[in-house]
Structure 1
Amino acid sequence: MKYRPEVDGLRAIAVLSVILFHAGFEWVRGGYVGVDIFFVISGYLITTLILSEHAAGRFSLATFYERRARRILPALFFVMAVCIPFAWFWMLPYQLKDFAKSVLSVLVFSSNVLFWRESGYFEAATELKPLLHTWSLAIEEQFYVVFPLVVMVTWRLGRRALPVLVVLALITSLGLAEWASRKGIIVANFYLLPTRAWELLIGSAVAMYLLRHPQRPSPLAGAGALLGLVMVLFSILRFDRTTPFPSLLALVPTVGAALMIVFAQAGGLVYRLLASPPAVGIGVISYSAYLWHQPLFAFARLMLPDPSRPGWLYAALIAATLALGWISWKHVEQPFRGRGWLSRRQVFLGALVGSLALAAVAVPMVMANGVISRFPAKDHYLLSISPTELGRYTERRFRQAERQAFDAAGASPRVLLVGDSYAQDFLNMVGENGFMASAQIVSHPIAARCPKYIGPDDVAPLYAAAGEHLDAAYCAAEGNLRDVLPLVRTADVVILAGQWRTWEAQRITQTVQSLGLRPQQRLIIIGRKDFGTIAPLSYLANTEAQRLALTNQVPAMNAEVNSLLRASLPAEQFVDVQQTLCGASGRCRIFTADGALISFDGEHFTPDGARHAGRLVFDHPALAPLR
C-alpha cells in the first residue's frame, strides 16, 4: 500500500483539534470532530489494505489481526500500565474502582459500552476519567472485527456486492444517528458503533473509489481538496457542545476529510500543507499522542480540582503529550511493528499475557471497591463519598413517587412536586426528617436542560441568548411543565423546584398564571442552591475543627436568580434554600455540625446534608404547616 504523507497531515489536524478541545481552548470548541476525522482515515486505510491484499491474492484474516495487534496494543498497554500507579495514589476509592473497570473494558474493546452505561447526570465528571478517550478505539476495534468478515462473505457474491453493501450500511447507520439525535438519545448515539459505523464506512467508500479511480492530475482536484479543508476547519472552529452530534451535521467534517483524501494531490496547496514536515511529524505520532493526552489532562484535573487552572498548565500538558507521544512512538510502537523479532504466535501470546497482567491488577481494585484500606481509618468517611452512588440516592425517592394521578381516596393534603434534581433533593429533605407523613406526594420530573416555564414567549431564542441549546424533541419526550397541568388541577399543594435559569426567574409570574391555580390551592417555589466545589481529597489534611470551619464561596448567579424570584413572588410562596442554609454572605458551610458533608457534588445533598437542610428549611412559614 502506497504511503501518503498527506494522510498523516490529516491525522495531525485530527489529533491537535481533539487535544486543544480537551484542553479547554474556546476557539476550537468543535475540536471533538477530530475523532470523526480519525474514523474516516481508519476506514479508508483498513479497506484499502484489505482490498489491495485480496487483489494480490495474499489477504489473511490472521495477518490482518496480527497487524492490528502490533499497531494498537503495545502503546495502549504501555499507557495503561503507566496510569495505574498514578491512579492508585491520586484517586479516591470510587474513582479507582471506575478506573479499574475502564481498564478491564479496554482489554475487551468495549469501553464505549462501559462509558455509555456509566453516563448519567450524577456520574463522575468525564474530564476526570483517564481512559475515557478509549471509547473511540473500541469503536474502531469493533469495526475491525466485523468488517473483514463481511468483506470476505461479499467476495463470494460478486464484485459489485461490497460497494452496494457499504453504501446501504452507511445510509442506514447515518439515518440511525440522525434519528437518535432527533429523539434525544444522546449518549448511546455518541458512544455506540451502530450510529458511528457510517463514519468509518465513508472511509471505506473512499478507498473503493480510489482503487477503481486512482488519483490523476485534474484542475478540479485543488478545489475539491480546499473545500474539504474548509469543511473540516469550519467544523473545528464553529461547532460546539450544543451541536447535535453525531447527526447529519457530522457530514461536514467527515465528508471534508474524505474530499481531502480523494483530491489532495502533489503540488496542490492542501497537499503541501498536509505533507509539510511539521504536519507529517505530528501525524506520525498521532496515535501515541492521542493515547497520552486524556490521562495527562485527567490526572492534572484530579490534583488541581479548582476549575480556574492557569493557561500555562495546559500548554505544558500539550507539550508533554507530544513529547510522550514521540517517545512511545519511537520506543514502543515502532519496535513492535517490525516482524523481525516477534512471530505472529508471540504477538498473540504477548497480547494475552499483557491483558491478563493488567486484568490481574484491575480486578482486585474493582472487587475491593477502590481499596479504601489504602487510607487511614479516620479518613474512610470522606473517602467513601461516591457521586455515582449518592446520585442514585438523590433520585430514588423522587422516582418512587412518580405517578400519573393521585389516589382517589388518598391521604390529605395532596402534594405535587415538580422539577429537576433540585426537586429530588427537596424530597430527600422531606424523607430524611419524616416530614409530610400524612401527605400523599406525587412527583413529576422535568430534566434540568428542559424549560421550567409556561407562557407566550418562544423559549428557543431564550436558550440561545443564554448560550444553551434547546433539544425540543428530548424535552417533549422527557417531560415538561405543560404535561403536568392536568395533575396540577387535582393537587392541594404544588411545589416547583429547580435549577432556575435567569430568564425563567424573570418570567416566573407568567408560569404561575399559566398553572391556573384555584384560590384554595397553595403554590410553593423552591429557589436555586449551590455549595461550591466539593473536594474530599483536599479535606483529608484538615483536623475536625478545621473541617467544621470550612466554607465555600458560591456562584453569584444563585443570589441573582433567587432575588428575581423573591421580587416576583409573594413571601409565602418563595423559599430561598440558599439563604436559609448559608445566610446573605455568599459563603456556605461544607460540613454539618457533627462533621458530615452537606453536599457530595456542590449542588445535591448527602443524606446527612438533606437531614440538616430539612430541619432549617422547613422552618419557613410556607413549609412549616407541611411538617
Structure 2
Amino acid sequence: MTYRPALDGLRAIAVVSVMLFHLDRELLPGGITGVDIFFVISGYLITSIVIRDFDKERFSFARFYQRRISRISPLFFLVSITIFAVTAMLYQDYDFALVGSSLAAAAVSLANMQFVFLPGEFEELPFVHYWSLSIEEQYYLIFPLILFLADRYRGSRKSLSIFLSIAALLSFIACIVLTEVDSEWAFFLLPTRAWELLAGCILAVLPFSSKGDNGSSISNKRIDALLASAGLVVIIASQFMIHDDTGFPGWIVAFPVFGTVLVIGRPQESRTGVTERLLSHPVAVVIGKASYSLYLWHWPVYAIVDYALITMPYASLLILKIVLTVTLSVASYNWVEKPVRSSLNRPERQRLSYLLFTAGTVVMLVTGYWARSTYSVNASLGSTRKAEVAFNEHNLAPQRLLAGDSNESMDGVGRNEIARARPVNRHVPGVSDHDSLPDSKLDKE
C-alpha cells in the first residue's frame, strides 16, 4: 500500500486528544476516544499490509512479528526502564511496588488485565496507558492466524469480511452489555474492544476498487469527500460531547469509531477532498509520525510530575508537563524510534530483533517482580477482605494486624522493619506460612 499522509494527520488528532484529556479532562472531555481512533487506524494499516503480503505470496509470521517488534519494542523498553528508574527515586514503597507489578504485566502484554483486577484509583501509576498497547498485542497474536487460515483455504475476501463483521458485531454487543455491568471490565478487556480494531480490518479486507469491470467509476468523488468530511466532524464532536464517566465505553464509542471509518473510507476517491488535504497538512503529519513517542511519554510525565511536584501551581504544572513530554518525544522519536526501527526491521536482522525483544522482556519481568516483592507486603485482595488471620495462641508477644486498603499498606514495609526491632507478631490477612518475614519473631507477615 502507498503512503497516505492523511492517516498520520488522523493519528495526530488521536494523540493530541488523549494528551489534552489526560492533561485536564475539562479541556477535552471526550479526548479519551483518541485511543479508539488509534485502534481503527491500527486495524486498517496492519491488515492492509498482511493482505498485500498474501497477494504477493510472501507472508511470514516471523516477518510479521519482526515488524511489530521493530515498530513497538525499542521505544517501549526505553520508556519503561526510564519510568522504573525515575520512580525508584521518587515514589514511596507501596507506590513503587505497584510500578513494579505494572512493569512486569506490561512486559508480557497483560497491563490491561492488571488494571481490571487492581482495586481503587491508580492515577499515579505511570504505566496505566499501556493497557491499549496490551490490547493491540493480544489482538495481533490471534488475528494474523485468522487471515492466514482464510487465505490458506482459499476463502474469498467477501466471506472473510462477513466473518469479521459478525465478530465485530458480537464484540460491540459485548461492549454494550458489559459496560452496564462493569464499565472498567468493558474498558480494559480485548473482547469488548476488538470490534474497534476489526472495524479497521474490515475496511482493509472489503473488495473495494476505484473502477468497475467496464472501466467506469463505481464511486462519486464528491460523495466520498462528503462522507470523509462528515466523519471528521463526528470525530471532533465526539471529543467534546462524550464523557468517560457516562456509560463509557458502551455504544457511545460507535461515534468516533464510525467517524474514523468514514475518514479512512476509500482513499482512491477522496484524496483530493478538503478533509484529506486538512489531515495531510505538514504540521499534522509531523505530529502523527511522532504519535507513538508522544503517547508513550505523555502519561508517565504527567503522573510523575503530579506525584513529585504536587504543591506546584496548576499553570506551572501544565507548562512543565507539556515541555517535558514534547522534548522527550522529539528526542526519542529522532534518536531511538526511527533509527532503531529501521535497523531492526531489516530481514537479515530478524534473529537480532527477536533476541533483543526477549532480553528486554526478561529484564522488565525480573525488575518488575523484584520491585513488587521487595517493596510491598504480599496479602491477597480476597483474603484481606475476608480478614483470614491466624494468630499464634501460644505466643505472648504483642499482636499487630495489618489490614485495610492501600492506606495501611503504604507504610507496610517500613512497619515490618519496626516490628523486627521489637517482639511484635505482625499479621497480614491471607498470607501463607511460606510468605513469613525472615525475622523469627514474626510468625506471619
Q: Tell me, in whole angstroms, the C-alpha distance in 1 between the residues paired with 2:242 and 2:235.
A: 10
What residue number does 2:191 align with?
194
Alignment of 1:236 onto 2:235: no
What residue number does 1:146 align with?
142
Contact 2:124 2:307 in 1 (8 A): yes
Contact 1:210 1:262 in 2 (8 A): no
What residue number does 2:170 align with?
172
Displacement of 1:152 = 1.0
What residue number does 1:478 align with?
none
State the AA in 1 paired with 2:298: H
State the AA in 2 paired with 1:114: Q
Displacement of 1:345 = 0.3
What residue number does 1:364 align with?
370
What residue number does 1:295 align with?
300
What residue number does 2:32 align with?
32
Displacement of 1:247 = 1.5
Find the residue that maps to 2:265 and give its secondary structure.
helix
Out of 202, 206, 212, the residue aligned to residue 205 of structure 1 is 202
1:269-280 matches, cutoff 5 A: 269-280=274-285
Query: In structure 2, do the counterparts of structure 1 residues 256 and 285 end up closer, same or farther at CA, with 3 Å as the change threshold?
Result: same
Contact 1:128 1:302 in 2 (8 A): yes
1:49-448 matches, cutoff 5 A: 49-118=49-118, 120=119, 123=120, 125-155=121-151, 156-159=153-156, 160-182=158-180, 184-209=181-206, 211-212=208-209, 218-262=221-265, 265-305=270-310, 309-338=313-342, 339-340=345-346, 343-370=349-376, 396=386
Larger radius of gyration: 1
Query: In structure 2, do the counterparts of structure 1 residues 66 and 341 end up closer, same or farther at CA, with 3 Å as the change threshold?
Result: closer
Q: Tell me, in whole angstroms, the C-alpha distance in 2 between the residues paired with 1:145 and 1:279.
A: 31
Q: Tell me, in whole angstroms, the C-alpha distance in 2 between the residues paired with 1:262 and 1:316.
A: 38
Q: Tell me, in whole angstroms, the C-alpha distance in 2 between the residues paired with 1:22 and 1:39.
A: 18
Q: Tell me, in whole angstroms, the C-alpha distance in 2 between the residues paired with 1:353 and 1:106.
A: 14
Q: Tell me, in whole angstroms, the C-alpha distance in 1 between the residues paired with 2:207 and 2:235.
A: 21
What residue number does 2:391 align with?
none
Query: In structure 2, do the counterparts of structure 1 residues 157 and 234 end up closer, same or farther at CA, with 3 Å as the change threshold?
Result: same
What residue number does 1:451 align with?
none
Q: Tell me, in whole angstroms, the C-alpha distance in 2 between the residues paired with 1:341 and 1:78.
A: 23
Displacement of 1:211 = 4.9
Query: In structure 2, do the counterparts of structure 1 residues 255 and 302 end up closer, same or farther at CA, with 3 Å as the change threshold?
Result: same
Find the residue that maps to 2:19 and give its secondary structure.
helix
Displacement of 1:359 = 2.6
Contact 2:75 2:293 in 1 (8 A): yes
Q: Tell me, in whole angstroms, the C-alpha distance in 2 between the residues paired with 1:147 and 1:211.
A: 21
Displacement of 1:71 = 0.2
Find the residue that maps to 2:127 and give its secondary structure.
coil
1:149-191 CA-to-partner distances (Å, cap 9, x unmatched) read: 0111122152133112101100000011111123x22111110
State the AA in 2 paired with 1:180: L
Contact 1:13 1:34 in 2 (8 A): yes
Q: Tell me, in whole angstroms, the C-alpha distance in 1 between the residues paired with 2:58 and 2:358.
A: 26
1:188-208 CA-to-partner distances (Å, cap 9, x unmatched) read: 111010000000000011112
Query: In structure 2, do the counterparts of structure 1 residues 282 and 93 end up closer, same or farther at CA, with 3 Å as the change threshold?
Result: same
Displacement of 1:336 = 2.2
Q: Which runs of 5+ in 1 are unaligned?
A: 371-383, 400-431, 433-532, 541-627
Find the residue that maps to 2:70 and give its secondary structure.
helix
State the AA in 2 paired with 1:142: Q
Q: Tell me, in whole angstroms, the C-alpha distance in 2 between the residues paired with 1:246 and 1:24.
A: 19
Find the residue that maps to 1:246 and give its secondary structure.
coil
Displacement of 1:217 = 6.0
Contact 1:195 1:246 in 2 (8 A): no
Find the residue that maps to 1:243 and give its secondary structure.
coil
What residue number does 2:18 align with?
18
* TM, length-normalised to structure 2: 0.80
Find the residue that maps to 1:127 and give its secondary structure.
coil
Query: In structure 2, do the counterparts of structure 1 residues 149 and 389 end up closer, same or farther at CA, with 3 Å as the change threshold?
Result: closer
Contact 1:100 1:365 in 2 (8 A): yes
Displacement of 1:391 = 11
Contact 1:19 1:318 in 2 (8 A): no
Query: In structure 2, do the counterparts of structure 1 residues 316 and 211 end up closer, same or farther at CA, with 3 Å as the change threshold?
Result: farther
Contact 1:14 1:33 in 2 (8 A): yes
Displacement of 1:301 = 1.4
Q: Tell me, in whole angstroms, the C-alpha distance in 2 between the residues paired with 1:309 and 1:270.
A: 39
Contact 1:224 1:263 in 2 (8 A): no
Displacement of 1:316 = 2.8
Find the residue that maps to 2:171 and give its secondary structure.
helix
Q: Tell me, in whole angstroms, the C-alpha distance in 2 between the residues paired with 1:350 and 1:70.
A: 10
Q: Tell me, in whole angstroms, the C-alpha distance in 1 between the residues paired with 2:324 and 2:348.
A: 30
1:257-314 CA-to-partner distances (Å, cap 9, x unmatched) read: 11011156333221121100110010000001100011101101111345x8512322
Displacement of 1:322 = 2.2
What residue number does 2:424 align with?
none
Q: Which moved more, 1:337-346 or 1:94-103?
A: 337-346
Query: In structure 2, do the counterparts of structure 1 residues 61 and 341 end up closer, same or farther at CA, with 3 Å as the change threshold?
Result: closer
State the AA in 2 paired with 1:366: R
1:122-142 CA-to-partner distances (Å, cap 9, x unmatched) read: x3x322010100000000001
Q: Tell me, in whole angstroms, the C-alpha distance in 2 between the residues paired with 1:163 and 1:218.
A: 24
Q: Tell me, in whole angstroms, the C-alpha distance in 1 between the residues paired with 2:266 and 2:233.
A: 13
State the AA in 1 paired with 2:148: M
Q: Tell me, in whole angstroms, the C-alpha distance in 2 between the residues paired with 1:324 and 1:391.
A: 40
Q: Tell me, in whole angstroms, the C-alpha distance in 2 between the residues paired with 1:43 and 1:102.
A: 26
Q: Tell me, in whole angstroms, the C-alpha distance in 2 between the residues paired with 1:341 and 1:55.
A: 19
Query: In structure 2, do the counterparts of structure 1 residues 390 and 67 end up closer, same or farther at CA, with 3 Å as the change threshold?
Result: closer
Displacement of 1:341 = 9.5
Query: In structure 2, do the counterparts of structure 1 residues 315 and 61 end up closer, same or farther at CA, with 3 Å as the change threshold?
Result: same
Q: Tell me, in whole angstroms, the C-alpha distance in 1 between the residues paired with 2:159 and 2:288.
A: 34
Displacement of 1:362 = 2.0
Ranked by relative contact order (alpha carbons within 8 Å, sequence separation 6 or more), the top structure is: 2
Question: How high is the sequence identity, in percent, across the aligned residues?
Answer: 34
1:308-359 CA-to-partner distances (Å, cap 9, x unmatched) read: 8512322331232122112111111111222459610000001111222233
Q: Tell me, in whole angstroms, the C-alpha distance in 2 between the residues paired with 1:176 and 1:170.
A: 10
* TM, length-normalised to structure 1: 0.58
Q: Tell me, in whole angstroms, the C-alpha distance in 2 between the residues paired with 1:66 and 1:91.
A: 35
1:555-574 CA-to-partner distances (Å, cap 9, x unmatched) read: xxxxxxxxxxxxxxxxxxxx
Across the aligned residues of Structure 1 and Structure 2, the Cα RMSD in angstroms comes to 2.8
